[in-house]
Amino acid sequence: MSSTDPADPGSTERRHLGKKIGLALAPLVFVAVWFLPIGLDQASHRLAAVFGAVVILWVTEALPIAATALLIAPLIVATGVADAKTAFAPYADPLLFLFVGGFFIARAMARHGLDRRIASSLVSLKAVGNSPLRIRAAFMVTGALLSMWISNTATTAILVPILLGTFASGQRQSGSLLAVAYACSIGGLGTLVGSPPNGITARLLTNAGHPFEFVEWMMIGVPTAIVCLALVFLVTRKLSPPGERPPMEDEEEVELAEPPAARWTRGEKVVLLSFALAVVGWMVPGILKSAGTELGTTLSRALPGGVVALFASSVLFVFRDRRGELVLPWREAGRIDWGIIMLFGGGLSLGQQMADTGLADAVARAFVSSTGITDLWALTILIAVGTIFFTEVCSNTASANILVPIVIAIAAEAGVSPLPPALAVGLAASCAFMLPIATGPNAIVYGSGKVTLPEMMKTGFWLNLACGLVIVLVLWLLLPLYGWI
């Protein structure tokens, strides 16, 4: 869920009420669970009280979700669940630096307009022409490709003004806006840096003894994104067809956006070099390792994702642009979303303690005994669809932090592989399409005033269900094919 909501007085009032409820309810839940006789040992019982309070704060956003994440380690230490060194160690997990470097590159892209150049180039292709349906498809593909590497919210913010400029007076706009917003969310499925739940899932699976690196994620994420993207195109075409553009005069041209300068700037070239180094560093070791070469194993060990991200982004602090400034001055680099980094750290700390204290196992035993579900794919379907609807009212990062440790434990209790249900959480957490508050892209297109809430809810509901099932289908086909289950 995005913290960015449309400017709606009713929405603001409800949000403030939710925060008040959360601030009152979180300590009550903490105290109630602390003294409730639930048959757990001391460490897991105390962690359950912390977990309950954190879930309330995250769901209600009573505090900024990053601020809640920063409280997790102190609460773990203060309640005696673990010592400070253990509790705070995940805040420096190597995975976090994959995102730090990625955010640096994304910031530099925005500073020098490389993201806008890429977007304008793709949607201005001659193959797109003046067809509303092809324009929609071009924007969807552009949004998905950009969102594999930079924030889905930033990508939507780039594309929506350009998209609005393509509409003729009176032409139906809502379907194309929704399609592009959903495509930007779906594109994030493709890579570990595309969406925070991806990295959380990969790290927690690795901690559970199932190593999952950049290339492995792409082997699942990219096919899932492609199928879901096609699904969004078909559903929005059915429910919200774009209609025909009125005939245009010969001299009239579609102004997609203010075009970038004809010549590439020095800054753009350096950013492209940094981005290329990152992509090569993230992918080549994994590809070589998958091919069974010793070089691939050596490179994977020497160049994990976080190391590659920092090496590649360091180029931005070495070279200067045509104005004589560093391509990415630190005053700009320091403005990346550090809150997401802290949210990662807090979630990993909580997830690790849930595994270490046995709390996740206890929740898993209760789930299996109450539902009777032990079939791998029935569990995966339930998890995928449930995660999507849960994420409608909760940050996708928080959803992954809450659900992945529990799902891994449920799989262990049921005696099945944790890969399908855990990956289902990681992928499904980025597929909430019903509500404006569910994702940044949803909020942006709703805030444009061109999309009504009933339109978003109707389209989003069917896509929630369909994408949940697509995720399960892709996992069912690919995981056995790769020999991972």
For residue range 216-257, what is the model confidence (pLDDT) as tens digits?
Answer: 999 999 999 999 999 999 999 988 887 655 444 443 444 444
Q: Is residue 3 predicted with pLDDT exceeding 50?
A: no
Q: Is residue 454 predicted with pLDDT exceeding 80?
A: yes
Let me know the angle formed at the C-alpha of 245 by 242 and 250, rounded to the nearest 5 degrees: 155
Using one digit for the tens of pLDDT, what is the confidence trace for 62-111? 888 889 989 999 999 999 999 999 999 999 888 888 888 888 988 898 89
* 127 Cβ contact partners less than 8 Å away, ≥ 6 residues apart: 134
**Pairwise CA distance, residues 446 & 413, whole Å:** 42
Q: Which two tokens stand for residue 208?
A: 């559970």
pLDDT, greater one: 325 or 249: 325
Contact between residue 363 and residue 406 where contact means Cβ atoms under 8 Å apart: yes
Q: What is the DSSP string of 172-201?
A: --HHHHHHHHHHHHHHGGGSTTT-HHHHHH
Q: Which two tokens stand for residue 31?
A: 């105290």
Q: Is residue 13 predicted with pLDDT exceeding 80?
A: no
**Mean pLDDT calculated for residue range 37-53:** 91
Q: Which sequence spans correspond to the domains of the chain? A: 94-245+256-333
**pLDDT at site 168:** 61
DSSP H helical ranges for 148-302: 152-164, 174-187, 196-207, 214-239, 266-290, 294-302
